[in-house]
Structure 1
């Protein structure tokens, strides 16, 4: 059965439809003292597939409760799908005495599951922190689904050279276009120059492909650069649309033409689902 966390209800339904599994009945409550309670009613206890993006501290607690609840319900096997893993970018301690938060979260999650499926972690090394088998799936190709079919001489841009595989996957799924990446030159602690490395952008539809949009600061600056260079349109695509604080406003003010994202983090810009690629490895 598919057991959705409260932050992943649409993805849970999409995964149920993709796999033919039924959806478990899940209740999310909060006691007067503020503590959470997630409870599950399951018809089939052969395997429980818990699908929960841990976008907040509360979502982490809820996930641990769901894992425990399906065990209490009699699940023979527990698979945990992490569409988005919170704290996954803190994969090392930058100073003595700081936690390796990704390791702490991975260890906690591992205690309640037999297997983990992780969608596009920002740092690939976090998989080493799980003490159960962890499978990574790449959802970048899904970002091509909502793109208009008539893009003009499309150019797919990644935020840096290290992430160019994301842009290549989206371009390959779309079927045509060039691939390039942004070069970042830091002039000071606060001033960063962002330019596409090689390709011309004038009069072209540019698709910026990223794994995460968090604060939107770098992305909005990139949009401004592309518009200044005469791009016909600038479309932002990302796998994990965190959109912290005023990130969405930053992108709109910068002149973005459209924003498309997956349902790893369910937002109003969600336009495609990672359910097919997750289903492939279940």
Structure 2
């Protein structure tokens, strides 16, 4: 068996335990100590000679997490790791994929270069790719992007009767269609107009045909919740039952969850890419299979 070690960011121990059990690997917590001046001390296991070390941690708070991540990767190599990989179920800095206004940094390219310099491989789930078709357009290390469609479809098959899948915008159509195809369910896509970070309006096609279905709003990232809340309101105005809101990555910043609940959503559900009380959909089987492939094992 490969001598692999999962090295886990604080807060993702439950995911680490399940993933380590599924793969037959050891795991340990990454030790972080924050000093009053904002600097951080990072401690990894002292003897990593010949081991494949895989850092595990979603990058939902990238300003706070990225430096400790880089320090840990560098320390692992200094202490003898033969390979250093990263599992970031949620991968940050993919929205800024072009210069939208003069002088803006294209942070997706910079972030990809920084991570590529520190890791031999990267494993993530449902990255927010728009102008990039594949991660290897900007990542130089081996970068694997998994789709969450199988996990979403499995949960919906068991939990929602007669689902009508609803994508929040045109960007969401390919993977909304993929989940719908796995379920054999119909789907529609909304049109979205964003006036600002927290001001969104949506329109929807004729839904009279689907009044006997349960609408399921799907999104890759739930951040402020405003787009999904607006969609919930429009679906209810159209005479459909209260929708189920499903997201892969539950950032749910500030009052986002309260906003969704106040909008009349029947349920808010997410995957365990980021620890959150809404976690219901398990990504461990997908991650375990891909990780074993990256490390070079098969079962």
Instruction: Name the TM-score, length of structure 1 as normaliser.
Output: 0.89
Match of 2:107 among 101, 108, 113: 101
Which residue of 2 is the match for residue 141 of structure 1?
Answer: 150
- Provide the aligned C-alpha RMSD in A: 2.4
Q: Quote the Cα distance in structure 2 between the aligned partners of 1:123 and 1:36.
A: 31
Q: Are 2:261 and 1:261 equivalent residues in the alignment?
A: no
Which residue of 2 is the match for residue 53 of structure 1?
Answer: 58
Which residue of 2 is the match for residue 69 of structure 1?
Answer: 75
Which residue of 2 is the match for residue 181 of structure 1?
Answer: 189
Q: Quote the Cα distance in structure 2 between the aligned partners of 1:69 and 1:233.
A: 50
Match of 2:16 among 12, 16, 20: 12
Name structure 2 gaps, 5 residues minimum.
292-299
Shift of 1:197: 5.9
Q: Are 2:40 and 1:36 equivalent residues in the alignment?
A: yes
Match of 1:130 among 133, 136, 139: 139
Which residue of 2 is the match for residue 159 of structure 1?
Answer: 168
Shift of 1:10: 2.6
Shift of 1:236: 0.6
Shift of 1:151: 3.3
Q: Are 2:6 and 1:2 equivalent residues in the alignment?
A: yes
> Is contact 2:202-2:227 (8 Å) kept?
no
> Is contact 2:42-2:71 (8 Å) kept?
yes
Instruction: Name the TM-score, length of structure 2 as normaliser.
Output: 0.85
> Is contact 1:24-1:43 (8 Å) kept?
no
Bigger mean CA deviation after superposition, 212-221 or 21-30: 21-30
> Is contact 1:209-1:236 (8 Å) kept?
yes
Q: Which deviations, in whole Å up to 9, do the C-alpha atoms of 1:121-157 show, x marking residues without a partner?
A: 1125272222212111111321234447363421111
Aligned residues between the structures: 280
> Is contact 1:201-1:226 (8 Å) kept?
no
User: What secondary structure does 1:78 align onto?
Assistant: strand
Q: Quote the Cα distance in structure 1 between the aligned partners of 2:125 and 2:54.
A: 15
Shift of 1:191: 6.9
Q: Which deviations, in whole Å up to 9, do the C-alpha atoms of 1:194-226 show, x marking residues without a partner?
A: 214667332321111110111111100100111
Q: Quote the Cα distance in structure 2 between the aligned partners of 1:165 and 1:59.
A: 31
User: What secondary structure does 2:209 align onto?
Assistant: coil
Q: Quote the Cα distance in structure 2 between the aligned partners of 1:253 and 1:148.
A: 26
Matches within 5 A, 1:185-204: 192-196=201-205, 200-204=209-213
